[in-house]
Amino acid sequence: MDYWNGQGAPLMNAADAPPQHPVPGSYMHATGSMMLRHGPSSDGGSTDYWIQDEKELKRQKRKEANRESARRSRMRKQAECDELTEKVQALTAENDSLRLEVERLSELCQKLSAENHALLEQLKQQNA
């Protein structure tokens, strides 16, 4: 039977379907949440009243809170990643600049050392 394309056994009307109560004394509310029946009223009658299943509500709230917490965590992690990327770029640029400065100073040092050596040779020749 192909349920997805509308072929197969005819569908049952909602009125024909037997009521489904997963827990004795419970009732499925139209919203899909389980309602629980509580005892007789003070007048001795069997007035039933319903309350929503608090466990389901707490579970849904906890799931939503966890989703929100995970979203905040992902945002925080992304912000940290972006910040670290910026730091890497800044430090890479600074490192390149410092390497150029070291190279310039090294060349200057070699030049001054050669000049010093030449001046010392001149001094030796003048004193000899």
* pLDDT, tens only, 70-102: 999 999 999 999 999 999 999 999 999 999 999
Please indicate whether residue 55 or residue 41 has the higher confidence score (pLDDT): 55
pLDDT at 71: 98
Instruction: Check residue 84 and give left, alpha or beta (phi > 0: left; psi -120 to 50: alpha).
Output: alpha
Where are the chain's structural domains? 55-127
> Nearest CA to 38 among 26, 30, 29, 23?
26
Region of poorest pLDDT, from 27-36, 75-84, 99-108, 110-119: 27-36
In angstroms, rounded to a whole number, what is the distance separating the alpha carbons of residues 44 and 61? Answer: 37
